[in-house]
Structure 1
Amino acid sequence: MIGSFGDVIFVASAELIRTFQSFSRTTAARWAVHEIHLKYPKAEYIGPGQDSLSFTMRFDIRYGINPRTELDKLLDMSRSGTAQTLTIGGKGLGVGLWYIESINQTWTAVDNHGHVITAEAELTLKEYV
C-alpha cells in the first residue's frame, strides 16, 4: 500500500493500480500588515495557514479499476464535506484531516455503450484543522 485518503487506498500491484501523480503541496503563513503613517508598514505573524495540495489520479478499467465508480466515490466524498486522513508511505500529512476542495474530471476514453474506460481526476485538498 502506497497510502490512503480516507477509504481510498493508493495501491500498485499486478492486479490493481490506484495511485497518483503530479503531487504538489503548498504551505503558507498568515501575516497582517499594519500601515503606519509616513513609515514602513509593520508585518505581524499571525500563525500558520491552511496547507493545500493537489494530485492527479488515473483510472483505467484494464488495471482492475472501474473509472466511473472511482469518480463517483470521490464526488460523494466531496459533496458530503467529509474530512479524511491522508497518509503517504505510512506517515500522515498535515496536522489534522483533509477535505476535497475541488475535483476536475477528465474522461479520456468512453466505449460505444457509454462506459468510461479511462479517466483522470485532479484533486485539490485543503487542510481541516
Structure 2
Amino acid sequence: MAIGNWGKTIKFEVTSNKVLTFSDFKRTVSGRWKSHPIVGKKPKGEFAGPDASSVTFDIVLAAEQGVKPRATITTLEKAAETGVVDYLYIGGRKVGSGKMALENISETWDEIWKGGELVKAKCSLTFSEYN
C-alpha cells in the first residue's frame, strides 16, 4: 500500500516485499514579520508574507524489509546535492503549496555486515518549500 512519495525519488510504501515508512513527521508553517523601531514606543510590526514551510521526518532503511539502504542513501544524497525539487505527497495529498527541496540528510549507519555491507540505517530528512 502506498503511503506517499517525493516525486519519483522516493516512494513510501508497505507491501509484502517492502516496508519503507517514516516516523516523527514534523511540519513548520510560519509568516515573515518585520519590526520597525518607533522612538519612545514599542516597535511596529509588519506582516511581510508567508515564509517557506519545512518538513522533517525519519526513515529506517532495512535490508530485512526489502530496502537497499546504501542505494537509497545514494539516491537521496544525489537529489540533495543536485538541487532536485518535487512535490511531497502523503496519503495522496500534497504537503504544502509548492514543491519541496531536500535540504539535509543526516545518516546513522546502524548495522554493517561482513565486507562492509550496510544492512540497516536511519536517515533524518529535512525538506523546505521551494518557490
| TM-score normalised to structure 1 length | 0.98
Determine the structure 2 residue equivalent to 1:3.
Answer: 4
State how far apart, in whole Å, the 2-side matches of 1:123 and 1:34 are.
Answer: 36
State how far apart, in whole Å, the 2-side matches of 1:109 and 1:51 are.
Answer: 33
1:43 to 31, 36, 45: 45
- SS, match of residue 85 in structure 2: coil
Q: Which runs of 4+ in 1 moved over 6 A?
A: none
Determine the structure 2 residue equivalent to 1:71.
Answer: 73
State how far apart, in whole Å, the 2-side matches of 1:41 and 1:13 are.
Answer: 56
1:30 to 32, 39, 56: 32
Determine the structure 2 residue equivalent to 1:125.
Answer: 127
State how far apart, in whole Å, the 2-side matches of 1:75 and 1:19 are.
Answer: 18
- SS, match of residue 35 in structure 1: strand
Question: Is there any run of 5+ residues in structure 2 with no aligned partner, and where?
Answer: none
**Counterpart of 1:5 in structure 2: which amino acid?**
W
State how far apart, in whole Å, the 1-side matches of 2:98 and 2:68 are.
Answer: 30
Identity of aligned pairs, percent? Answer: 33
- SS, match of residue 2 in structure 1: strand
Q: Tell me the alpha carbon deviations over residues 45-71 of structure 1, each in whole angstroms, 9 at most, x when there is no partner.
A: 010001111000101101111100000
Question: Is there any run of 5+ residues in structure 1 with no aligned partner, and where?
Answer: none
Determine the structure 2 residue equivalent to 1:107.
Answer: 109
- SS, match of residue 40 in structure 1: strand
More strand by share: 2
- CA shift, 1:14, in A, is 1.7
CA RMSD of aligned residues (A): 0.7
